[in-house]
């Protein structure tokens, strides 16, 4: 992960994988147990992927996007029932259609939103909203310090403009850096 961060820090966001506590908070109240289609964006080392795979019902489709080919290759085949997609989350709709699905019930994201330009934040968020069914749920996390920087505040505004409901969770202080989760509903 350190090697990936050094090569492309704007894509990775941190040198340390997310904590189990943050992963638990991400999957909480996402309806994974009843979802037919679940998508993860930014699978990275698979911390969230493994937990999501444990929670989804048998027969559910779980697509995990990872744009970094090395990380995607390491994750591919290591988590049962997960289809690893080595592509940008911008192409979410194409991959859902290729899998025979119109939309996802839940999308969970580990993408480093605060590292992205306004244009990239908007493109990715448009793909998320278009890829969710009505009433679908979206969860992503933010590092506490980054949430207060201009790109982090801009991302919060984009969430509020894109979803019917946006809420934040408690802070996970045992994560490095400390983080909280945005829970959104379409």
- The per-residue pLDDT for range 156-175, each reduced to its tens digit, is 999 999 999 999 999 999 99
pTM across the whole model: 0.91
Q: Token pair for residue 18?
A: 């997310």
Domain ranges of the chain: 2-185
Q: Which tens digits make up the pLDDT trace of 35-68?
A: 999 999 999 999 999 999 999 999 999 999 999 9
As a CATH number, domain 2-185 is 3.40.50.150
Cβ atoms within 10 Å of 56's Cβ, excluding its own: 23
Q: Which tens digits make up the pLDDT trace of 142-155?
A: 999 899 999 999 99
Q: Please state the rounded mean pLDDT for residues 20-31.
A: 96
């Amino acid at each position: 992960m350190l090697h990936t961060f050094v090569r492309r820090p704007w894509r990775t966001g941190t040198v340390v994988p997310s904590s189990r506590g943050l992963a638990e908070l991400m999957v909480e109240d996402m309806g994974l147990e009843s979802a037919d289609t679940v998508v993860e964006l930014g699978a990275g080392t698979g911390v969230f992927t493994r937990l999501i795979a444990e929670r989804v019902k048998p027969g559910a489709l779980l697509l995990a996007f990872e744009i970094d080919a090395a990380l995607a290759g390491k994750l591919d085949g290591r988590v049962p029932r997960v289809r690893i997609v080595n592509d940008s989350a911008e192409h979410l709709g194409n991959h859902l259609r290729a899998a025979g699905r119109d939309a996802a019930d839940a999308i969970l994201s580990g993408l480093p939103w605060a590292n992205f330009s306004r244009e990239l934040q908007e493109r990715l968020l448009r793909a998320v909203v278009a890829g969710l069914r009505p009433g679908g749920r979206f969860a992503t996390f933010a590092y506490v310090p980054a949430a207060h920087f201009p790109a982090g505040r801009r991302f919060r505004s984009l969430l509020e403009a894109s979803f019917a409901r946006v809420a934040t969770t408690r802070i996970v202080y045992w994560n490095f850096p400390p983080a909280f989760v945005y829970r959104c509903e379409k």
